[in-house]
Structure 1
Amino acid sequence: MFKAKFHPLTDLEDWRFSVDEWGIAWAEFDREGESQNALGRRPLEELGRIVSAVEDGARDKNIVGLVIISAKPRGFIVGADIREFAEMKTESDVYERLRPVTALFDRLERLPVPVVCAINGFCLGGGLELALACHYRIATRDAGTRLGFPEVKLGIFPGFNGTARSIRQAGPIAAMQAMLTGKMLSASAARAVGFVDQLVDSRGALPWAARKAILRGRKSKPAGFAKQALTKWPAREFLAKRMRGEVAKKVREDHYPAPYRLIELFERHGGNEEAMKAAETRAFAPLMVSDQSRNLRRVFKLSELLKGQAPKKLAWKPLRAHVIGAGTMGADIAGWCVARGMEVTLQDVSPEQIAKGIAAQGKLFARKFKTKPQRDAAKARLIADPNGEGVARADVVIEAIVEKLDIKRTVLAEVANRLKPGALLATNTSSLQIEDIAAGLPDPGRLIGLHFFNPVAMMPLVEVVRGEQSREDEVSRGAAFVTAIDKFPLITKSVPGFLVNRVLTPYMFGAMKLIEQGEDKERIDEAARTFGMPMGPIELADTVGLDVCAHVARILGFSSEGSRLDRLVAAGKLGKKSGEGFYVWKDRKPLKGDRVFDRVEMERLGRELVAPLIAEAQKSLDDGIVASADLVDAGVIFGTGFAPFRGGPLHYQAEHALPSAAVAEQ
């Protein structure tokens, strides 16, 4: 990329090192054989050799500065190499791996010449920690440039002294929020908080901006006095208490200890950068070797496995979608597709329903798009289409109408004759079998299922359902479409309930059976949360809709005749959407008491509640509904919220040596 003056290091495999005519050293990260750069053992060792060369060159006056940049077209550094985490079995292993890295970053920071980090694309985790050890940071305004600390999602926090450096640059509020939430920041947001010093318009502008920064000796300024004052006592104690309260609203300490340990680290050492660096490793090591982190790393790998369900090389790129049915599900599918950049036509027999469905996407667009022009452009891409004129232009047509077989058949038969060649035809059904819906179509092999979950904007999984008649290329395109809209595809066999509802239903109805036997609903739900579920099964039933639960139960052969569920549905008490079900709902939240339950009893009941779910997950694997045990775990985690820190139902069963025959009896 750059005209080199000399090449003191010619045997590097993951970096390219050169010095230009101005005496500026360029370290280009281009990890061999990888599409993205990650900081593994070899790249870090080679970076150490580069730092040594710059130290020598600076001493001899041959080097006036160092630029660290990526040679990958769409990314800087995605973080530490997660594949190497498993090599660290003990806390001593963690210390042994971290000490050379933190020492290297300190050497980088102490270089006597300016060090500039030039960022385009993802700059995450260890990549951001490396950037913060540099003296000045420049990033592109490109929409794909994102910076952040996702470590908390892996059950850890930054371990290359990024905790102390981020607080130094951004102040404790912005830095701790970034680390505690794991959210990615745009380049402009990163500049606003202090992680980035300068923005340029394009990747091509980075080298020139970096060269100018070196020659002018630019250096990043730490957070101002007002922000740094918040690291002093008692302000730090107050902030820590507030942070702990916010975290407690979302996760429990025994389930996800990492954010709590991070807050403790800040509370004890946040006023002294060097002390915080030293304490960081001591707090980090036990987290890295914990069961929670090991299982959360497994969940990350499962997410990559789901992405792999889509073909890597497929010329077909969906740009336009047509959604039939403007109810809550159909309108939300349309809105999500628009939010991911597609143009969508939305059809319904009722123009009023279309208008209502489009209006409901305002909240999503406000959340996804920060400027008025972006929101206006999104609104323009969501087009009311009562006559279905968009069918002929669409790359993807999704039917999302009422769960009635005859109506679905009629609508799809009419649509099938107007599809353009190569368009994908899908039904969003939660319980009907694809081959039954496809019967009577001129080309039944064209139809697949795309089962979205409610709420569409929140749930990451979409089941791509292969009917007995579905052609494999249509299934592959379905998976490709799901990844194109930034969801995880799970290819499943067409059976009643597919995977997720089939596994979820015995769990929910097992809980309802306990209610019929006199068990308290709040006690049931608290036990499920104690196990690690995001909400209890009774609250979940209310959230899904009791009429939907009853319908799915009938499809899957669970009789609810004469039960409290049937009585509630008959009375029009359908849960959250009607304001009352098993719970009374106010401001979209269930009204609950403030009782405290015995912890040991909650753990016992929690295991009892999930036993039917685990048993059904095993049966689903045995019946070949998905291709592997890992895919079962992935589908149940991302489709139901099954406690991620436990690694999935089948993984949990294996880890606790629960024989599948005994699970349901536990």
Structure 2
Amino acid sequence: MSYELPNLKHWRFDIDVDNIAWAWFDTAGQRMNTLGREPVEELAEIVSTVEDAAQRGDVKGVVFISSKPNNFIAGADINEFDALRTEKDVEDVINPVIELFNRVERLKVPAVAAINGYCLGGGLEFAMACHYRVATREEGTRIGLPEVKLGIIPGLNGTVRMLQLAGPIAGMQAMLTGKMLRPGAARGMGVVDQLVPSHLELPWTARKAVLQKRKSKGGAWWKRLLTKSPARGYLANRMRKETEKKARPDHYPAPYKLIDLFERHGGDPQRMASAESRTFIPLMISDTSRNLRRVFRLQEMLKDQAPKSRFKPLRLHVIGAGTMGGDIAAWGVYSGMEVSLQDQTQDQVNTALGRAKKLFKKRMRSSRDVDVAMSRLISDVPGEHIKRADVVIEAIVENLDAKQKLFADLEKQLKPGAVLATNTSSLRIEDIAQSLQDPGRLIGLHFFNPVEKMPLVEVVQGEQSREDEVEKGAAFVNHIGKLPLIVKSCPGFLVNRVLAPYLLGSITRLQEGTPKEKLDAAAEKFGMPMGPIELADVVGLDVCMNVNETLGSSPAQDSDLGRLVAAGKLGKKTGQGFYTWEKGKPQKAGTDYDEAELERLGEEMLKPLIDECERVLDDGIVANADLVDAGVIFGTGFAPFRGGPLHYRRSKDKAGESTAQAA
């Protein structure tokens, strides 16, 4: 009997001479495999065919594998999510998929998921429905359930299967953080059954798994005990306390709903599966989820700011081994580049090397990896490596004369095609470039502190900066795993320009008598990652003064800010600013404030920031409103669940119009 499926668009299906069925996934017209409506419908055809062949004894098993490099299934197609307006819409979409995955699980022959690259979200939920999972150890392989980052929870019985395989501790942590796991970690948890060195060995290993009728053993017996009461209630309370440190339930309800689901039904897989859908459906159509999906798309938009380019930078040279320059150098090394670091003295460079080693120890898996990274970070006080570098970044003091002199000398040493950039936070690129014979070569690459945590880099285009230099700068930013935002040169660019009135306005409120703890609490109530007074301390009060002076809005020297700077109390880096800092934390007075009052104050405090975003858009500093929102979210941490400052204001205006019309 023939089991050919010739009309498939997104899958390829065949049965080989050993009677093993192969389903190769290759979503048409997309870089990533995603489970959209059409691919799922075709998957249903394949499963029906395998069911029929298995019933007749014509297949020994089925392997689900990807035809795309470095990608198994990246998840559901979130572009289809926005069409789901009601709970009934969501229910009609997910119920057939849940039943399809259950059919895979009920197949009478082995179903093997052969994983290379991203296996995330709905892709992992599908893989967990298979009987056995083989994954590659390749660097690009990442496995996880990142749904909470989109304001939802796994909704295709993924919560149930994750607990069965990984147990409640590791399984819930993976779902609550949305972390993408390396293959070894996934294997250690029990989510993956077998690892192979490379994708070349994946088909052969999957074939053996079918022929040997391998089946996942599931979680250990002691893990299953932890899903029983009273252990489950104890674990749920611990999870809530840990989650509260990172996210407020009124801003991000999804992780708390997941914990509730586990606490109530974690000991009964059947009830948990049913309750999972009831929890998932309202989250999917919530404003929080819609806004977080918008943030995801904004992130992809920023990545697209760097066009496909032949520019593949391998060597970076950083001038200035202070906190910012040293951290840029360390991040370049962490991203795989060879980096040379220059400053006036060896002691200054040595201090930066010490900080870099701490970063590598924190982020790398072994001491050998740390040693290899340190070997790529070269101390270069005389600047001998400038002529070899593909990218040269200046990160010295914010002084126009000093920068102009440095660049006049640098220009003579650069190799053809190298990117020449300044990390200035406020000076105009045109002014710095005046000392160059070829001013069109200079661009800005403005990083944010701390470099390892802040995802955005502003790629600054001066009036004379050539388009190809800007494109190469954006390609470099992508290469080191950051998000490039192309901005026109102006004082403060985008992020510092919109932050300045917000910070200065908050400091003015402090001087007028509003407690600093109250100001910070109000901003956090709005959804900011930290309050403006704490942020000023973290950025550095001297930096705040300098940026405000550049923007023409500096407070008086006899202001609280001016007096602290004059006294050398510069914030976190000196241990004293608006707050006293101990062990890296600000010492705050514990005071309770009225929640409604905090909400009102937070709205008032953020208004200057949003107003400045409107002016930035009007001035054409970035190309459109979406890029303003993206820059402010990823450059300042502006409440992601609100979808960006301009989107938030437009949404509020629409809501107000609707209320007025209804009245």
TM-score (normalizing by structure 2):
0.98
Indicate conservation of the 8 Å contact 1:576/1:585, yes or no.
yes
Indicate conservation of the 8 Å contact 1:6/1:19, yes or no.
no
Following TM superposition, by how much is the alpha carbon of 1:659 offset from its aligned partner in structure 2, in angstroms? 12
Secondary structure (helix, strand or coil) at the match of 1:426 reads strand
Instruction: Please say if 1:163 is aligned against 2:170.
Output: no
Indicate conservation of the 8 Å contact 1:338/1:378, yes or no.
yes
Correspondence for 1:335: 330
- For 2:603 and 2:196, the matched residues in 1 are separated by 53
Correspondence for 1:319: 314
Amino acid of the structure 2 residue aligned with 1:119: I
Correspondence for 2:31: 35
| Residue among 91, 97, 108 paired with 1:112 | 108
Q: CA 1:393–1:6 in 2, change beyond 3 Å: closer, same or farther?
A: farther
Indicate conservation of the 8 Å contact 1:395/1:422, yes or no.
yes
Following TM superposition, by how much is the alpha carbon of 1:129 offset from its aligned partner in structure 2, in angstroms? 0.4
Amino acid of the structure 2 residue aligned with 1:584: T
Q: CA 1:582–1:659 in 2, change beyond 3 Å: closer, same or farther?
A: farther
Instruction: Please say if 1:557 is aligned against 2:579.
Output: no
RMSD after superposition: 1.1
Following TM superposition, by how much is the alpha carbon of 1:29 offset from its aligned partner in structure 2, in angstroms? 0.3
- For 1:7 and 1:142, the matched residues in 2 are separated by 34
Identity of aligned residues (%): 62
Instruction: Please say if 1:346 is aligned against 2:349.
Output: no
Within a 5 Å distance, the mapping from 1:117-128 to structure 2 comes to 117-128=113-124
Following TM superposition, by how much is the alpha carbon of 1:496 offset from its aligned partner in structure 2, in angstroms? 0.3
Superimposed CA distance per residue, residues 82-141 of structure 1 (whole angstroms, 9 cap, x where no aligned partner) = 101011101111111110000000000000000110000000000000000000000001
Correspondence for 1:598: 594
- For 1:62 and 1:583, the matched residues in 2 are separated by 73
Within a 5 Å distance, the mapping from 1:499-648 to structure 2 comes to 499-561=494-556, 562-648=558-644
| Residue among 417, 424, 427 paired with 2:422 | 427
Following TM superposition, by how much is the alpha carbon of 1:295 offset from its aligned partner in structure 2, in angstroms? 0.3
Amino acid of the structure 1 residue aligned with 2:183: A
Correspondence for 2:72: 76
Secondary structure (helix, strand or coil) at the match of 2:259 reads helix
Q: CA 1:228–1:566 in 2, change beyond 3 Å: closer, same or farther?
A: same
Superimposed CA distance per residue, residues 453-488 of structure 1 (whole angstroms, 9 cap, x where no aligned partner) = 000000000000001110111001111110010100
Gaps of 5+ in 2: 657-663
Instruction: Please say if 1:380 is aligned against 2:381.
Output: no
Correspondence for 2:474: 479
Q: CA 1:192–1:384 in 2, change beyond 3 Å: closer, same or farther?
A: same
Secondary structure (helix, strand or coil) at the match of 2:181 reads strand
Correspondence for 1:143: 139
Following TM superposition, by how much is the alpha carbon of 1:658 offset from its aligned partner in structure 2, in angstroms? 8.2
- For 1:231 and 1:363, the matched residues in 2 are separated by 38
Instruction: Please say if 1:185 is aligned against 2:181.
Output: yes
| Residue among 248, 264, 285 paired with 1:252 | 248
- For 1:65 and 1:404, the matched residues in 2 are separated by 69
Within a 5 Å distance, the mapping from 1:57-68 to structure 2 comes to 57-68=53-64
Correspondence for 1:447: 442
Indicate conservation of the 8 Å contact 1:6/1:18, yes or no.
no
Superimposed CA distance per residue, residues 336-389 of structure 1 (whole angstroms, 9 cap, x where no aligned partner) = 010000000000111111111011111221233202222111110000011111
Amino acid of the structure 1 residue aligned with 2:184: S
- For 2:445 and 2:617, the matched residues in 1 are separated by 20
Correspondence for 2:659: none
| Residue among 172, 197, 204 paired with 2:193 | 197
Indicate conservation of the 8 Å contact 2:3/2:49, yes or no.
no
Indicate conservation of the 8 Å contact 2:11/2:25, yes or no.
yes
Amino acid of the structure 1 residue aligned with 2:129: A
Superimposed CA distance per residue, residues 529-550 of structure 1 (whole angstroms, 9 cap, x where no aligned partner) = 0000000101100111111101
- For 2:239 and 2:618, the matched residues in 1 are separated by 45
- For 2:387 and 2:487, the matched residues in 1 are separated by 28
Indicate conservation of the 8 Å contact 1:453/1:461, yes or no.
yes
Superimposed CA distance per residue, residues 223-258 of structure 1 (whole angstroms, 9 cap, x where no aligned partner) = 111111100000000000000000001110000000
Amino acid of the structure 2 residue aligned with 1:592: K
| Residue among 482, 489, 492 paired with 2:484 | 489
TM-score (normalizing by structure 1):
0.97
Correspondence for 2:129: 133
Amino acid of the structure 2 residue aligned with 1:58: A
Indicate conservation of the 8 Å contact 1:349/1:386, yes or no.
yes
Correspondence for 1:278: 274
Amino acid of the structure 2 residue aligned with 1:429: T
Instruction: Please say if 1:303 is aligned against 2:299.
Output: yes
Indicate conservation of the 8 Å contact 1:39/1:81, yes or no.
yes
Indicate conservation of the 8 Å contact 1:39/1:127, yes or no.
yes
Correspondence for 1:415: 410
Gaps of 5+ in 1: 661-666
Indicate conservation of the 8 Å contact 1:653/1:659, yes or no.
no
Amino acid of the structure 2 residue aligned with 1:484: H
Number of residue equivalences: 655
Following TM superposition, by how much is the alpha carbon of 1:7 offset from its aligned partner in structure 2, in angstroms? 4.7
Correspondence for 1:664: none
Amino acid of the structure 2 residue aligned with 1:227: K
Following TM superposition, by how much is the alpha carbon of 1:559 offset from its aligned partner in structure 2, in angstroms? 2.8
- For 1:371 and 1:254, the matched residues in 2 are separated by 39
Amino acid of the structure 1 residue aligned with 2:237: K
Within a 5 Å distance, the mapping from 1:228-239 to structure 2 comes to 228-239=224-235
Secondary structure (helix, strand or coil) at the match of 1:315 reads coil
Amino acid of the structure 2 residue aligned with 1:511: S
Q: CA 1:402–1:659 in 2, change beyond 3 Å: closer, same or farther?
A: farther
| Residue among 315, 338, 354 paired with 1:359 | 354
Amino acid of the structure 2 residue aligned with 1:507: Y
Indicate conservation of the 8 Å contact 1:136/1:218, yes or no.
yes
- For 1:658 and 1:230, the matched residues in 2 are separated by 48
Indicate conservation of the 8 Å contact 1:68/1:117, yes or no.
yes
Instruction: Please say if 1:242 is aligned against 2:238.
Output: yes
Indicate conservation of the 8 Å contact 2:307/2:475, yes or no.
yes
Amino acid of the structure 1 residue aligned with 2:595: R
Amino acid of the structure 2 residue aligned with 1:47: L
Instruction: Please say if 1:261 is aligned against 2:251.
Output: no
Amino acid of the structure 1 residue aligned with 2:466: R
Following TM superposition, by how much is the alpha carbon of 1:432 offset from its aligned partner in structure 2, in angstroms? 0.5
Q: CA 1:102–1:659 in 2, change beyond 3 Å: closer, same or farther?
A: closer
Following TM superposition, by how much is the alpha carbon of 1:592 offset from its aligned partner in structure 2, in angstroms? 1.0
Correspondence for 1:663: none
Indicate conservation of the 8 Å contact 2:407/2:435, yes or no.
no
Superimposed CA distance per residue, residues 306-362 of structure 1 (whole angstroms, 9 cap, x where no aligned partner) = 1111012x1110000000011110010000010000000000111111111011111
Secondary structure (helix, strand or coil) at the match of 2:64 reads strand
- For 1:292 and 1:531, the matched residues in 2 are separated by 14
| Residue among 646, 649, 654 paired with 1:650 | 646
Following TM superposition, by how much is the alpha carbon of 1:202 offset from its aligned partner in structure 2, in angstroms? 1.0
